[in-house]
Structure 1
């Protein structure tokens, strides 16, 4: 199939709007990529994180029934403390984002006026996801080494029942090497178009915020995989579970009720009611 033809079928309107964006920036693709790498993840993070902050603050019954650890409550003082760490990590992220922007310019990543074809988009997206899974899994598992855990990663695990904004509640070293680099590595390796990168940043941060949210809402990404990691500390080191399955570091998870609950909820009955079981003890 001609990839250009494939792109023209579904992408004409989008491509026209993308060209209007380029015209607005006077054809400066580097500027668009620079703005997009900040705007896309920040928008995703605070849309989802802000929503769950409101939920955890006011605790409406019609939503709290979807908590995956219902006995754990998020208190306002603790939430505000986490928020301070999160804002610091946002500031720390700026020089790393700038560094990757300059490297991508040097590498020659696609910053052009034409959107990629659908096959090209999908190939690059797959490459990005695999790069992130590899980099995140091994960096995250390394941070669980006893010599590193107590100095760095233990801060993130102060939340055994995480809430959405704690996705980047962590030590600055972890923020750089286990959060930022795995996310930015894929676009750098694939050399993908700016639009692919922006979609990746947005969807990736939305999924990350949901996985830390502590809520399994209908028609939303299920949080059980990473929530289980916060409960047990010893399983589920990856983002999508591919390398956990390869290394058998999901053995406890896949034999638990939480594995059964890791599915898209297509009804309004809480997942704990659909797959009930005595709550497992938290172990450290």
Structure 2
């Protein structure tokens, strides 16, 4: 099944890369990455907590009283959804303003070499960590912390949606 999917992607990607504007491909990939890399795993973790509470509680390090309330979970979910929709809307607006022709991605019908893939992955990982660290430090500024960031630290027990 995996090889079927990979072979399908192998034949589809050149068509996608030449048929659609690069900005549209970037927006689509970004949305898919958010769904597959954040929303799906967070939802699965929350579903395990809700569907199998005895199993879930058995594996938690913090006591029951330190777990977030349903109100805190829904508030967090709403804040994360709002932030995610806002950032996605800004990305779509920028792409629309450039007629979906500008992108920060390199989009070609050919595949990168393994060396390019490893180098780009390492560069992206390093850049992501640097940007995350810088943004997180900035959010600890006294003028920003209480208004925007304090709620992130209000979760004393791990909660998947609070990760963003």
Q: Do these two structures clear the TM 0.5 threshold for a shared fold by scoring above it?
A: yes
Cα distance in 1 for residues equivalent to 2:10 and 2:94 = 23
Secondary structure of 1:63's partner?
A: helix
Partner of 1:218: none
Residue correspondence of structure 1 range 1-284 to structure 2 within 5 A: 14=6, 17-23=9-15, 27-28=19-20, 30=22, 31-71=24-64, 72-98=66-92, 101=95, 105-106=101-102, 109-168=105-164
Q: CA deviation at 1:59?
A: 4.2
Which structure carries more helix by proportion?
A: 2
Cα distance in 1 for residues equivalent to 2:8 and 2:114 = 16
Deviation string 1:187-246 (CA, Å, 9 cap, x unpaired) is: xxxxxxxxxxxxxxxxxxxxxxxxxxxxxxxxxxxxxxxxxxxxxxxxxxxxxxxxxxxx
Cα distance in 2 for residues equivalent to 1:90 and 1:21 = 27
Greater RCO, CA 8 A, separation 6+: 2
Aligned residues: 155
Q: CA deviation at 1:136?
A: 1.2
Cα distance in 1 for residues equivalent to 2:52 and 2:60 = 10
Secondary structure of 1:151's partner?
A: helix
Structure 1 unpaired stretches of 5+: 1-12, 169-284
CA contact (8 A) 2:15 2:109 kept: no
Q: CA deviation at 1:90?
A: 2.3
Instruction: Give the alignment's TM-score, normalised by structure 1.
Output: 0.47
CA contact (8 A) 1:22 1:28 kept: no
Secondary structure of 1:40's partner?
A: helix
CA contact (8 A) 2:152 2:162 kept: yes
Cα distance in 2 for residues equivalent to 1:25 and 1:130 = 27
CA contact (8 A) 1:56 1:74 kept: no
Q: CA deviation at 1:164?
A: 0.6
Cα distance in 1 for residues equivalent to 2:125 and 2:16 = 31
| CA 129–99 in structure 1, closer or farther in 2 if over 3 Å, else same | farther
Question: Could you say what the CA RMSD is over the residues aligned between the two structures, in angstroms?
Answer: 2.8
